[in-house]
Amino acid sequence: MSCLRELEGKMAHDHHFINQGLGLRRRVWVPGPVIVGAGPSGLAAAACLKDKGVPSIVLERSNCIASLWQFRTYDRLRLHLPKKFCELPLMPFPEDFPMYPSKQQFVEYLEAYAKRFGIKPVFEQEVESAGYDESVGLWRVKSVGLKGEEMEYVCRWLVVATGENAEAVVPDIKGIENFRGEVRHTAEYRSGSDFRGKKVLVVGCGNSGMEVSLDLCNHDAHPSLVVRNAVHVLPREMLGRSTFGLSMWLLKWLPIRLVDRFLLIMSWMIFGSTGSFGLDRPQVGPLELKSKTGKTPVLDVGTLAKIKSGHIKVHPSIQSVGHHSVQFANGRIENFDAIILATGYKSNTPSWLKEKDMFSQKDGMPRKPFPHGWKGERGLYAVGFTRRGLFGSSADAKRVSEDIENFWKAEFKPNISP
Ligand SMILES: Cc1cc2nc3c(=O)[nH]c(=O)nc-3n(C[C@H](O)[C@H](O)[C@H](O)COP(=O)(O)OP(=O)(O)OC[C@H]3O[C@@H](n4cnc5c(N)ncnc54)[C@H](O)[C@@H]3O)c2cc1C
């Protein structure tokens, strides 16, 4: 620790320049944690820390908070879960917000949240590497700005909040490079109005794929949906309550398999057999599957009715793509004007985080399963990698801030109090 104190003494609030061959990288000592990412998770972590008197700095590659929500989601998006399960710590949603806030309302809420806790991220700072420097016992976080200006933040604690959805996943599909129509990931899809009258193939049947298909239908496009694997589709509400809320409540009293059985019976009563229109269910129930693999059930907002009525066609996996056509695994060939990849996102930590113990290099997620994935070694933390959405982000943010607070009080407070 003496080494840390020494460095702290030398660097506190100072900006230094270090020569790095061709250019100069500005170096800043940060007394509190550095948080990477100004999405809901990063904001929640910064707010909880602030509440405990621990200052932090938030680095964000984009030019605003919640860039996923502002730039990479479709217009009709609403929170999939009721607002009470999506609120960040210390500040509920406004009472006059609907049960499922729109994305604009969610962004408004996040902006008010950042304002309330005085969180001012450093924007346009993409973290390109972060590693632990054994020689001084500190993290070195290197970022680059839009104009190529380089910074190094040196800190005791590093909070990774870059999200499970940092980069779009684009699968290898045979022949897709030859397709003459438009190919777009859902990250670039805003509204079905761009596709009016067109035949559009949506690849992937998670929440995004199902909702984009519905949106296309509502804008007079002709969507088809590729369903490669078995999927659980549940009604968003049952018995007048949200399916998610009801499940959480039932889990307090009943084992997961019994709750799954209840959900499947209710779904069958509402939808009939989803298998009969091409959406086979997995062998394992929806909640058990979620807890074992992280695979989220689809909460239906009207897509199933359009599939049943034939307005959305369902196809098996793609075998190959031609100039204008797609051949499916059952041998069928159909022409399309556009392909939309609803093939999800992945974490980007393997590309910049040099520490290999806490995060897997394979999928960029913490190696330890929920609820143990938030804490690594030597002051490294993760917020928002639980596969449990905003609910998981809030739980992580609280744990991380409590843990850092203990160190902060023990090691730093006596040093900075008068
Ligand atoms: C379409 C869609 C709908 C969803 N709906 C819900 C819902 O209803 N309820 C729910 O609970 N969850 C929902 N989710 C999950 C959702 O992603 C999370 O709940 C939430 O956005 C996670 O917040 P986050 O801060 O962890 O990640 P993000 O929101 O992805 O924020 C991470 C931030 O880190 C920044 N970043 C990444 N890499 C770097 C870097 N190297 N340097 C600097 N900054 C970086 C990004 O620019 C981004 O701003 C949805 C996701 C999607 C895609």
Condensed to tens digits (0 to 9), the pLDDT of residues 260-293 reads 999 999 999 999 999 998 999 999 999 999 988 8
Can you give the pLDDT at residue 13?
A: 46
What distance in Å separates the CA atoms of residue 95 and residue 354, rounded to the nearest whole number?
43
Question: From the alpha carbon of 393, which atom of ligand 1 is closest?
Answer: 26
Can you give the pLDDT at residue 413? 54
Cα 200 from Cα 139, distance rounded (Å): 47
3-state secondary structure 140-175: EEEEEECCCCEEEEEECCEEECCCCCCEECCCCCCC
Ligand 1 contact via 353 beta carbon (within 6 Å): no
Q: Are 209 and 153 within one domain?
A: no
pLDDT of residue 197: 97
Q: Say if 417 falls within a structural domain.
A: no
With H, G, I as helix, E, B as strand and everything else as coil, classify residue 346: strand
Among candidate residues 162, 163, 161, 139, the one with its CA nearest the CA of residue 152: 139
Within a domain: residue 120?
yes
Could you tell me how many helices (H) and strands (E) the chain has, helices first? 12, 23
Closest atom of ligand 1 to CA, residue 388: 11
Is the shortest distance between the CB of 204 and ligand 1 below 6 Å? no
Q: Which atom of ligand 1 is nearest to the CA of 59?
A: 43
Q: Is the CB of 163 under 6 A from ligand 1?
A: yes
Q: Which residues of the chain have pLDDT under 50?
A: 1-14, 21-22, 416-418
Ligand 1 contact, 216 CB (< 6 A): no
Residue 280 lies inside a defined structural domain of this protein: yes
Q: Tell me what pLDDT residue 294 has.
A: 84
- 137 within a domain of the structure (yes/no): yes
- Reported as a single tens digit per residue, the pLDDT across 18-54 is 555 445 679 999 999 999 999 999 999 999 999 999 9
Choosing from 301, 319, 341, the residue where a domain stops is 341
Residue 418 lies in a domain: no
| Model pTM score | 0.93
**Which pLDDT does position 12 carry in this prediction?**
42
* Same domain, yes or no: 309 and 192: yes
Q: Where are the alpha helices (DSSP H) in 35-150?
A: 40-51, 67-71, 103-116
Residue 23 confidence (pLDDT) = 58
Whole-angstrom Cα distance, residue 204 to residue 302? Answer: 17
Residues 317 and 279 in one domain: yes
Q: Domain check: are 184 and 115 in the same one?
A: no
- Pocket of ligand 1 contains residue 390 by CB under 6 Å: yes
Residues 125 and 240 placed together within one structural domain of the fold: no
Q: Is 224 in the pocket of ligand 1 (CB under 6 A)?
A: no
Nearest 5°: CA angle at 260, between 93 and 79? 20
pLDDT of residue 8: 42
The DSSP element (H or E) to which 119 belongs, if any, is none
Ligand 1 near 68 CB (within 6 A): yes
Domain boundary among 314, 341, 368: 341
Report yes or no on 24 lying in a domain.
yes
Same domain for 310 and 237, yes or no, is yes
Same domain, 405 and 321: no
- From the list 268, 277, 269, the residue with the least C-alpha distance to 304 is 277
Looking at the fold, whether 190 and 265 belong to one and the same domain comes out as: yes
Mutate to test the pocket of ligand 1, among 58, 68, 80 (most ligand atoms within 8 A of CB): 68
pLDDT of residue 6: 39
Nearest CA residue ID for atom 15, ligand 1: 389
| Same domain? 313 vs 406 | no
Q: Are residues 175 and 280 in the same domain?
A: yes
Query: Ligand 1 mean position to 80 CA, how many Å?
Result: 14
CB 62 less than 6 A from any atom of ligand 1: yes
How much helix, strand and coil, in percent to the nearest 5, is found in the chain?
35, 25, 40
Pocket lining: 303 vs ligand 1, CB cutoff 6 Å: no
Ligand 1 pocket, 393 CB below 6 A?
yes
- Residue-number span of the structural domain to which 402 is assigned: 4-166+347-412
Name the pairing type of β-strands 23-29 and 150-155.
Answer: parallel
Number of folded domains that form the chain? 2
Which of 27, 16, 41 has its CA nearest to residue 383?
41
- Strand 233-235 and strand 345-346: the pairing is unpaired
Domain end among 341, 362, 387: 341
Query: 61 CB under 6 A from ligand 1?
Result: yes
What CATH number corresponds to the domain at position 311?
A: 3.50.50.60
Same domain? 195 vs 264? yes
Peptide bond connecting 371 to the previous residue in cis, omega within 30 degrees of 0: yes
> Quick one: pLDDT at residue 68?
97
Which pair of structure tokens corresponds to residue 273? 């057999």
| Same-domain check for residues 401 and 255 | no
Q: What is the pLDDT of residue 412?
A: 62
